[in-house]
A and B are shown apart, each in its own frame.
Chain A
Amino acid sequence: MRYLLVEDNLELAEAIASRLAMDGHAVDHAASLAEAEDCLATADYDLILLDVMLPDGDGRAFLKRSRDRLEVPVIVLTARSRVSDRVDALDEGADDYLTKPFDFSELEARCRAVLRRRGGSARNEIALGAAVFDPMAGTLCCGSSTVELRNREIRLLEVFARHPGQILSKGQLMDRLFSHDAEVTENAIEVYVGRLRRRIEGKGVRIETVRGLGYRMDTTAP
């Protein structure tokens, strides 16, 4: 995915960009509305993350101005909730909003919901051997058969898909799957891996257990 991040706080922007890059996303950063306009004129994005308070104006005013010509979904980053904010970002044309500070798994979940609503684009598809995985739509297609995966299964499969052939430890999988306030045991990972295995059986994708180390995806199976 390619994100446009419009945020004037450089430290936060840098942090968000590296965090998204860890998941294999590309991020362009704009520190002001003017820069954002330039970026939008030169590149295509899958999603815009828009801060509401920017040095050259209100992010919502920008949304209002450019909503008609903007094809890209927008998630607004705000410091206030819907109740305490007199102007509702959703009324101004945002697809969703997140209050700072936010959980990346929540950002992910909201992006997914927005993109699914808007209809994902082909560039999000990942080839896994003979199968095609669309993490946004949450589908895995192999030939004529398609399985629809549930949220956690999608996320689990996506982690494997982003690290083809790599061994992933249970700890690594846990960080990517659960928000950090939930006390989860490594048992839960076993449960989810087991469930995912059953769901994608016969689609040419297998998750194998690497004893003592974790799991690895194998896409070469017939």
Chain B
Amino acid sequence: MTGTGSIGRRLTFLLAGVAALLSVLSWGMVTGLALEAAERTQDNVLAASATTIAETLRSEQGQVQLELPYSAFAMLGAISEDRVFYLVTAGEEMLTGYPDLPVPQLGPPSPGRVVFDTGNYRGAEIRMAMLTRLVLAGAQPVPVTVTVAQTRNGVDAITGELSQLAATLAVAFFLVAVALSFFAARTSLRPLNEIARAVSRRGPSDLRPLRRDAPAELAPLLAALNRLMARLGQSIQRSEDFIAEAAHRVRTPLATVRVQAEIALRSIEDEAQRRRLRQMIRAVDESSRSAEQILDHATVAYRTDDLARDRIDLAELARQTAKALEPTAAMKDIELRLETEPAEVAGDAVLLDSALRNVLDNAIKYSPEDTTVRLTVSTDGGEARMAVSDQGPGLGEGPAEALTERFRRGSNTEGIVGSGLGLTIVDDVLRAHGGRLELGRVKKGEGACVTLVLPLA
């Protein structure tokens, strides 16, 4: 047997095969027994018939005489409609009957014993019973042989009937057995299916051991599964810890550099040196933004592989994300204006928050001071639309879709820190949720209008 295919089907086939074998065997046995029983009955009646005829043998004036009793044939007729033949010989001389009946040639007949044989007569198979008896004819005992024969149609008919009945029963038995084996296979595989369901129902990061009762045969599988999940959890935890530690180690000194540069900027008057310090701060921001976006991009890819499908109200999500970015907007005196209506979608809240954050971050980053960024959540024909529009310079002339390419930045980014991964992340998140990103411009204005479109839950 190969490793593929269904255990259930294999089990069903195996059990059905056994059932088929048993059915055929039982049919064969019943047929055989029926044949034997029918033959024995015929033999007994033939013997009785021959004996009855032999009973009437007597000798009269040195001649062997007999009377063919009606009962001898009646009993044969009672078992079937078969033709009956007989032959009685005294020594070499035939007394009565069918002279050409092929009597059994079985050596010297022993008186008083019935001998059976099968042969062919007049184009039909016959069964014969032969009985020899010594009759005193005068002074000499003469061996008289009585042979009674019958065709075998009756026997065949009875065995045929019985065999047919047995076949019907066997087929019925087979069908019941197949149904039962199908059921048995299903039932015995149910715990396996339950384990599979329990595993697949889990959230993407749920690696707790499975705690459920399983049949003894499945216990090793369950234990192995739990060990695997524990190991997986550990290794994920280890890489999580590693990333956290690495980020911490790299970014803490960077933070020191940045703060020190800011302090120096405060106390230095020389314009050339101040420009150097600003460049230094920019470089720090540039590298930290890139590191952050690259890590986020990787995390997004990992999380979309096995997407969580929680119910999320985009209006609530928009409120929270906007609140988180409020201080950033306030730094440029940008007003964040929010207009929402409830819109439920299914997805990963962390990812959707990150997508919206990137879009809002762009709107704030590329807009001039003292402007308004508008965030609206609406629904339209089975879709939720989160639109962010600003009063900034817009997305430029080229095809806007190119901006979703990795590390692609627009031509308007002079002096503005960024890695070019923001819209890539947004696009990836939306695609994973079955949505899309629409990049356009504000009607009757210059600003960009970026819309996150998601299917409603």
Contact = CB atoms under 8 A, between A and B. Distances in A.
Given A9-B252, A101-B257, A80 B244 contact: yes
A12 B259 contact: yes
A102 B255 contact: yes
Contacts, number: 131
A101 B288 contact: yes
A130 interface: no
Contacts of B282: 180-181
Interface in B261-318: 262-263, 265-266, 269, 274, 278, 281-282, 284-285, 288, 292, 295-296, 298-300, 303
Contact of B285 (A86, A101, A110): A101
A15 B256 contact: yes
A206 interface: no
A199 B21 CA distance: 101
B330 A109 contact: yes
B322 to A, nearest CB: 12
B183 to A, nearest CB: 46
Nearest to B286: A181
Nearest to B244: A80
A80 B295 contact: yes
A81 B247 CA distance: 10
A11, A52, A77 pick with most chain B CB within 10 angstroms: A11
Contact of B327 (A82, A85, A113): A113
Contact of B263 (A22, A52, A99): A22
Interface in A101-116: 101-106, 109-110, 112-113
B292 A81 contact: yes
Interface stretch (B35-43, B350-358, B382-390): B350-358
A100 interface: yes
Contacts of A182: 332, 415
Nearest to B280: A180
Nearest to B246: A79
Contact of A101 (B248, B251, B263): B251
User: Considering residues A85, A96, A188, which has the most beta carbons from chain B within 10 angstroms of its beta carbon?
Assistant: A85
B243 interface: yes
A84 interface: yes
B263 A106 contact: no
Nearest to A10: B256
Sorting the interface of chain A by its residue count into under 10, 10 to 19, 20 to 34 or 35 or more gives 35 or more
B248 A79 contact: yes
A113 B323 CA distance: 9
B216 interface: no
A100 B299 contact: no
Contacts of A16: 259
A109 B251 contact: no
A109 B328 contact: yes
A99 B251 contact: yes
A139 interface: no
A70 interface: no
Interface string A33-68: 000000000000000000011000000000000000
B164 interface: no
Interface of B: 205, 240, 243-245, 247-248, 250-260, 262-263, 265-266, 269, 274, 278, 281-282, 284-285, 288, 292, 295-296, 298-300, 303, 324, 326-328, 330-333, 350-351, 353-354, 357, 369, 415-417
23 contacts: A9-B253, A12-B256, A15-B259, A15-B260, A16-B259, A19-B259, A82-B353, A83-B296, A83-B303, A86-B205, A96-B327, A101-B254, A101-B288, A104-B262, A109-B330, A113-B327, A113-B330, A152-B369, A171-B274, A175-B265, A180-B262, A181-B285, A182-B332
Interface of A: 9, 11-12, 15-16, 18-19, 22, 52-53, 77, 79-86, 88, 96, 99-106, 109-110, 112-113, 150-152, 171-172, 175, 179-183, 188
Given A79-B248, A80-B243, A180-B278, 8 more contacts: A12-B255, A80-B247, A83-B350, A83-B354, A84-B243, A99-B251, A99-B288, A175-B266
